[in-house]
Structure 1
Amino acid sequence: MNWDQLLSLKRFGDTNKRLRKEQDEARLGFEVDYDRIIFSSEFRSLQDKTQVVPLSKTDFVHTRLTHSLEVSVVGRSLGRKVGELLLKKHPHLETIHGYKMNDFGTIVAAASLAHDIGNPPFGHSGEKAIGSYFKEGKGAKFKSYLSAKEYQDLCDFEGNANGFKILTESRNGREGGLRLSYATLGAFMKYPKESLPTKPTSHIADKKYGFFQSEKDMFIDVANELGLLKRNKEHLSFCRHPLAYLVEAADDICYTIIDFEDGINLGLIEEEYALEYLINLVRDNINATKYNQLSTKEDRVSYLRALAIGNLIEEAANVFMQNETLILEGKFETALLDVCKYKAQIEDIITISIKNVYQSKEVIDKEIAGYEILNQLLIAYGEVAYHSFKDEMSNYDKLLLKTLPENVKLSNASLYKNLITICLFISKLSDTNAMLLYKRLKGTIL
């Protein structure tokens, strides 16, 4: 792969090539990507979607929106740092094409901002609830109408693939979705493969999948424009865009440190015990005098968090540059932080977060409720999708159809498209709106 192609400013529907040196410096194409994401309704709904604690009413606990904003800030710093080093190594990118250090930061920031845009309500338990409905729930009856890959899309419903759909799906008046630059879409695609086969190798790009069959043509167009290397001749699988490693690192840094911070602030992790683990990440550059002057838990945690994030940004950039050649050749097979010098400290923190936060009673109880809410929504709207396909709409189906947004279209042409459309509709709901819709279907509120 080469950076000349990987930094493509092309957007869906372009007939002429967009050149970086011809861009308006006051409003660059990559900056437009960031703006389009942040003003989208799908991004706004993240303000009421679970990051760690579902339906939390505590103001200092992160939602998907605050998490995404923080990941974008970390991604911007990481992208700029790497961009500065890349331009020194490949000066023609600046002297001939006009790329700047900040371009890398903006691409990574935009992709980081969107990285969770496809996540359904109630966090990762929402993904599992959708998959379970099709795998062992009432949606299993649809299997005979679908291809193996279509059925796998649904059984292993993936927020990353759903995010790619949100960013690129055409509808009336909005051809090409948000029409982001292909460079940003490439950086967004952490798992550039289809749903089958599942995890064919231990390569990080095979961990999950990145697009539904409904977006297959768009995915291929993006991959070809960027010059992503094919990884397999038998199924659709490409090497990652190099900047996807930075998006992943920004996310890893934030959920490792900030979910841990939420656990401390919620009282799920004891302060003295927790601060010791954070200090292990920053021991080489902590200012002991300043730290000892901090009188509140929040201030102490905040200071250590800032230092830890700074250290991890520096380390992730170093690992990226040390392995840039392997990354461009598609031969770097792991996440950046998995081979960094802080790996042991990161693993210790994540282990504590899993035990004390992710598996806490409050989180589990609310995940169970979210699971039931999504299952019931899928049962109701799954029947609408099926009966629409069969031209057998009941009066109740027709009533439910009227509750869908105007841009949600079902037909008798494809059951797969109907089902993936319903999943998209449900995935866009905030936690609160999913709960309210569930109560309406149950008749408990009018």
Structure 2
Amino acid sequence: MNWEQLLSLKRQGDNHKRLRKEQDETRLGFEVDYDRIIFSSAFRSLQDKTQVIPLSKTDFVHTRLTHSLEVSVVGRSLGRIAGKKILEKHPYLSEVHGYQMNDFGAIVAAAALSHDIGNPPFGHSGEKAIGEFFKTGGGLHYKDKLSDKEYQDIIDFEGNANGFRLLTASRQGVEGGLRLSYSTLGAFMKYPKESLPKSPTKHIADKKFGFFQSDKKEFIQVAQELGLVQTSAGASVSYSRHPLTFLVEAADDICYTIIDFEDGINLGLISEEFALEYLIKLVKNSINTKKYTSMAHREDRLSYLRALAINTLITDAVRIFVENETAILAGEFHVALLDKSDYKAQIDDIIKISIDKIYQSQEVVEKEIAGYKIISDILNVYTKALMNKKEGIASNYDKLLIKTLPGNYKITDGSAYDILLNTCCYVASLSDSAAVHIHNKIMGKQL
């Protein structure tokens, strides 16, 4: 892979190449990507989607929205610092093509901003709930109507694949979705493969999948334009990651490691003394002890340690990225950046505590159980109504249900896969509160 191709400003539908030197410096194409994402309805819905604590009524707990904004800020720093070093190493990118370090920051920031845009309500349990409905629940009987890959798309419903669909899918009068630059789409594509085969290698890019069968053509178009290394062709398609994807992933890893931990402290799930001890281990080489001990309030101490920890991990992630640039460009770097961090032991300790004290806390488990029931019930009534309409046997109740759907989710003239996937994407588009509200309506609990 080469940086000039990887930094493509081309958008879906373009008939000509967009040159960096011809860009308006007051509003670069990469910055337009950020604007389009932040003004999209899909992004706004993240304000009421779970990050860690589902349906939390506490002001200081992060939602998907605040998490995504923070990941974007960290991603921008990672991109700028790494970009500066890449341009120093490859000066022709700046001298001949006009690329600047801020371009790298803008691409990573935009991709990071959208990294959770396709996630369903109720956190990762929402993805599992959608899959379980078709794997073991009321949607199992649809299996015979789908190909193996189509069925896998649904039983392993993946927020990353849904995100790619949201960013690129055309609708009537809106070609190419948000029409983001291919470089931003490439950096967004964390798992550049289809749903089957599952985890064919131990490469981090093969851990999950990144596009549905319905979006395969658009995915391949982006991958080929960027010159991503194709790792599998024919019956199964996969590519290496865009190099900047590693920085997007690092930004996410840094934020959920540090900030989910902070949420656990604020919620009282982790004691302050215990938690601060672990954070201090991470920043022991940069902490100003005198400054730290002078802080009278817990939130100030915690904010100080958080800032130091994030800065420490940003610096380390960039070091790893630059040291391994050649392998990354060749598609031969197989792990997340932080897996090679000098602070991996400290990171693992923090994540272990977060899993035990936060992710598996009674509050989280109980609300995830409720989320499973809510999602299953919504899928049950809407898939039945839409499939009945397709087969010409829709009841009056089915017709009433379909009337409640947004226009682009009412379509039933496609294949069974199109209808079922579209319904999954509708459920995924709902915020936590909207899902509860709709569930109450269809269960007759609210008029």
TM tier, smaller: over 0.9
Q: Match of 1:144?
A: 144
Residue 159 of structure 2 is aligned to residue 159 of structure 1: yes
CA distance in 2, matches of 1:247, 1:273: 30
Q: Does 1:250 align with 2:251?
A: yes
Q: Does the CA-based 8 Å contact 2:30-2:184 persist in structure 1?
A: yes
Moved more, 394-403 or 229-238: 229-238
- Structure 2 counterpart SS, 1:407: helix
Say whether the 8 Å CA contact 1:170–1:176 is kept in structure 2: yes
Q: Give per-residue Cα distances to partners, 1:94-115, cap 9 Å, x unaligned.
A: 1111111000000000000000
CA–CA separation in structure 1 for the residues paired with 2:386 and 2:428: 15
Q: Deviations over 1:305-363 (max 9, x none)?
A: 00000000000000000000000000000000001100000000000000000000011
CA distance in 2, matches of 1:106, 1:330: 23
Structure 1 gaps, min length 5:
none
Using the alignment, how far apart are the partners of 1:126 and 1:407 within structure 2? 22
The residue aligned with 2:310 is 309
Q: What is the aligned partner in structure 1 of residue 18 from structure 2?
A: 18
| SS, match of residue 172 in structure 2 | coil
Provide Cα deviations, 1:361-413, integer angstroms capped at 9, x if missing partner.
Answer: 01111111111100100101111232133222211111111000123242233
Residue identity over aligned pairs, in percent, reads: 67
1:156-235 maps to which residues of 2 (within 5 A)? 156-234=156-234, 235=236
Deviates more, 1:407-416 or 1:419-428: 407-416
- The match for 1:342 is 343
User: CA–CA distance in 1 between the matches of 2:306 and 2:285?
Assistant: 14
Q: Following TM superposition, by how much is the alpha carbon of 1:216 offset from its aligned partner in structure 2, in angstroms?
A: 0.4
| 1:162 partner letter | N
2:92 is aligned with 1:92: yes
Which residue does the alignment assign to 1:371?
A: 372
Instruction: Write the distance in 2 (CA, Å) between the matches of 1:369 and 1:203.
Output: 34
Deviations 1:130-161 (A, max 9, x none): 00001011111111111100000000000000
Cα distance in 1 for residues equivalent to 2:353 and 2:432: 26
Q: Which residue number in structure 2 is paired with residue 50 of structure 1?
A: 50
Partner of 1:424: 425
Q: 2:190–2:245: 8 Å Cα contact kept in structure 1?
A: yes
- 2:2 equivalent to 1:8: no
**Given that residues 79 and 109 in structure 1 are in contact (C-alpha distance below 8 angstroms), is that contact kept between their aligned partners in structure 2?**
yes
Q: 1:51 & 1:246 partners in 2: Cα distance?
A: 20
| Aligned residue number for residue 433 of structure 1 | 434
* Amino acid across the alignment from 2:30: F
Deviation, structure 1 residue 51: 0.2
Within 5 Å, which residues of 2 pair with 1:48-127? 48-127=48-127
2:326 corresponding residue in structure 1: 325
Deviations 1:155-179 (A, max 9, x none): 0000000000000010012110000
Q: Residues 21-32 of structure 1: matches in 2 within 5 Å?
A: 21-32=21-32
Cα offset, 1:218, TM superposition:
0.2
Which secondary structure state, in structure 2, belongs to the residue aligned with residue 53 of structure 1?
coil
Residue identity in the other structure for 1:213:
Q
- Paired with 2:413 and 2:72, the residues of 1 have a C-alpha distance of 41
Alignment partner, residue 241 of structure 1: 242
Letter in 2 for 1:344: A
Structure 2 residue matching 1:208: 3-state secondary structure: coil
Distance 2:34 2:355 in 1: 32
Structure 1's consecutive aligned runs of 4 or more residues displaced over 3 angstroms after TM superposition are none
CA contact (8 A) 2:9 2:29 kept: yes
Taking the aligned partners of 2:392 and 2:335, their CA distance within structure 1 comes to 48
Between the aligned partners of 1:343 and 1:386, the Cα distance in structure 2 is: 49
Q: 1:407 — aligned with what?
A: 408
- 2:289 is aligned to 288
Matched position secondary structure for 1:151: helix
1:231 match: secondary structure: strand
* Separation (CA, whole Å) in 2 of partners of 1:71 and 1:384: 39
Partner in structure 1 of residue 352 of structure 2: 351
* Helix, strand or coil at the partner of 1:400: helix
SS in 1 for 2:230: coil
Q: What's the CA shift for 1:86?
A: 0.3
* Maintained 8 Å contact 1:260/1:349: yes
Q: TM-score, normalised by structure 2?
A: 0.99
Gaps of 5+ in 2: none
Judge conservation of contact 1:389–1:414 (CA < 8 Å) in 2.
no
- The total of aligned residue pairs comes to 446
CA contact (8 A) 1:388 1:412 kept: no
Q: CA RMSD in A?
A: 0.7
Instruction: Answer yes or no: is 1:265 the counterpart of 2:266.
Output: yes
TM-score by length of 1: 0.99
1:16, distance to aligned residue in structure 2 (A): 1.1
SS in 2 for 1:138: coil
